């Protein structure tokens, strides 16, 4: 397991080493870290050397890419390593290492190839660290050179599920450009824009592409609704007075910046022209700190040189996107994938328990992508019509959701079974919540079980026996559910 994981986003690096803890200051660095011999150290840098002594091991790292202080990440633990191709190393606990190797074998390399094709910024050695189930990936949202942290919930996933890695790859270049946190949209929004291009090039069907892209627009709507009463956070370039960057970064609607880039791409003549500009931008500012005015100036110079007849940039009203008074909300629609999953869920709730022949479409779900299975289970869970024990038994026979598939699918399946009071799921649910003890999984399952009055006492006793396995944040949330 990982015993220590240190990330400094966005203002905590000064607590660990002397530095100018601001995005505008970037530097190369090296590090020497000693641990007991049974532990392994990984870092957001390249491993130069390992020196063994009698009872300790010293790891030497170096990072030649200019990096802000918040981009330094260290993890120490009982980790195993697996080589996946010429430029990918995977680190995980022993119980996850085989699944990790298989999950990221070909798909991750294909994503790196897409990055090379799009913008020519070749990535060399990349490390993937599979976090232990106790640690939420939300604490490692910073993408750093040479290291990507992922949740074990992605393991066993097909390419539709692990496509989220493409967003992390897109941010590997854009994450560290900005001069200050109020201009962070230059990192986040451009990373989102590149991610959309990744999706369109990935070997997945059009229904899944449409769903993944629409999912981003829904996040924007949810973000705006969640913070509609906080004017300072509605702007793409927020005012920083008396606000912690850590609080700010989670609340600025960076999707609006992605909408701005899509608008510019359209006005300037389409993807071919805009991709050339974006490639030049990435090369020009790769190791520099810039602000929004620098970016506008660079775009204007490019358009003057390569698009002299297009005067759109010089007359463009930037305030619509940067300092808008009314939120910019994209058009949201139901995708074909969601419609198909919703209709199938409706048929499951309406079908006759005594039917002799099972509709073929129910069996065909076994060939669905992971994303489609998750959506189907979500609609079944949200349905106002419950499922009978007979139907749950049929589902378990055909989908085997309680024994296989990804952890995310198993999580959805467990919640569906609890909702419909399927008793065989009780032990599986408790074991899953105790094993995957992040708030997303553990709190949801414990709350569902707590609301099942007949097993409430069993649930509370199981949690108390295993309480020390949970991190403090998760303990507080579960205690508020079970012990209120």
Strands 126-130 and 147-150: parallel
Tokens 């011999």 appear where?
Answer: 37
Write the CA distances from 274 to 24, 263, 265, integer angstroms.
27, 11, 5
Tokens 């990221």 appear where?
Answer: 104
Q: Using CA atoms in the order 219, 222, 226, 228, what is the torsion angle rounded to 10 degrees?
A: 100
Spell out the residues 6+ positions from residue 123 whose beta carbon is closer than 8 angstroms to its own.
87, 112, 115, 116, 169, 172
Strand partners, 177: none
> DSSP letters along 96-115, please?
HHHHHHHHTSSHHHHHHHHH
Alpha helices in 383-425 (DSSP H): 389-399, 407-419
Strand partners, 126: 88
Cβ proximity of 101 and 82 under 8 Å: yes
- Cα separation, 397 vs 179, whole angstroms: 56
134, with CB counted inside 10 A (0-12, 13-18, 19+), is middle
127, with CB counted inside 10 A (0-12, 13-18, 19+), is buried
Alpha helices in 308-388 (DSSP H): 319-322, 336-350, 360-363, 370-382
| Annotated binding-site residue? 171 | yes
Q: Mark the binding-site residues for Zn(2+), compressed into ranges.
A: 171
Q: Mark the binding-site residues, compressed into ranges.
A: 171
């Amino acid at each position: 397991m990982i015993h220590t994981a240190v990330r400094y986003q966005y203002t905590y690096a000064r607590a660990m080493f002397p530095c100018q803890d601001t995005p505008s200051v970037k530097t190369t660095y090296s590090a020497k870290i000693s641990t007991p011999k049974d532990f392994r150290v990984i870092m957001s840098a390249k491993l130069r050397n390992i020196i063994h002594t009698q009872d300790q091991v010293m790891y030497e790292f170096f990072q030649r890419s200019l990096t802000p202080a918040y981009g330094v990440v260290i993890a120490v633990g009982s980790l195993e390593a697996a080589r996946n191709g010429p430029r990918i190393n995977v680190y995980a606990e022993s119980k996850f290492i085989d699944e990790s190797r298989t999950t990221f074998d070909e798909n991750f390399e294909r994503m790196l190839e897409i990055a090379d094709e799009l913008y020519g910024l070749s990535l060399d050695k990349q490390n993937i660290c599979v976090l232990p189930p106790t640690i939420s990936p939300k604490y490692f949202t910073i993408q750093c050179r040479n290291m990507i942290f992922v949740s074990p919930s992605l393991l066993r996933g097909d390419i539709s599920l692990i496509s989220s890695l493409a967003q992390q790859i897109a941010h590997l270049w854009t994450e560290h450009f900005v001069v200050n946190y109020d201009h962070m949209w230059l990192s986040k929004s451009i990373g989102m824009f590149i991610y959309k291009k990744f999706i369109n090039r990935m070997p997945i069907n059009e229904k899944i592409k449409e769903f993944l892209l629409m999912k981003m627009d829904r996040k924007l709507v949810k973000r705006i609704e969640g913070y509609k009463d906080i004017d300072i956070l509605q702007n793409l370039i927020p005012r920083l007075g008396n606000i912690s960057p850590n609080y700010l970064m989670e609340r600025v609607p960076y999707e609006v910046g992605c909408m701005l880039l899509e608008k510019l791409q359209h006005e300037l003549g389409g993807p071919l022209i805009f991709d050339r500009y974006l490639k030049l931008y990435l090369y020009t500012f790769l190791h520099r700190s810039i602000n929004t005015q620098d970016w506008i100036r660079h775009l204007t110079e490019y358009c003057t040189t390569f698009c002299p007849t297009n005067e759109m940039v010089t007359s463009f009203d930037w305030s619509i996107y940067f300092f808008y008074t009314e939120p910019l909300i994209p058009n949201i629609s139901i995708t074909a994938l969601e419609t198909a999953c919703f209709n199938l869920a409706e048929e499951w709730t309406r079908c006759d328990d005594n039917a002799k022949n099972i509709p073929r479409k129910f069996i065909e779900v076994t060939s669905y992508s992971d994303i489609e299975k998750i959506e189907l289970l979500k609609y079944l869970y949200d349905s106002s019509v419950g499922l009978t024990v007979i139907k749950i038994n049929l589902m378990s026979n055909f989908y085997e959701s309680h024994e296989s598939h990804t952890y995310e699918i198993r999580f959805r399946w467990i919640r569906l079974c609890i909702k419909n009071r399927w008793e065989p799921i009780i032990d599986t649910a408790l074991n899953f919540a105790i094993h995957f003890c992040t708030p997303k999984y553990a709190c949801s399952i414990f709350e569902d079980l707590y609301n099942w009055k007949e097993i409430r006492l069993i649930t509370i006793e199981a949690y108390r026996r295993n309480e020390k396995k949970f991190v403090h944040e998760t303990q507080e949330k579960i205690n508020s559910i079970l012990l209120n």
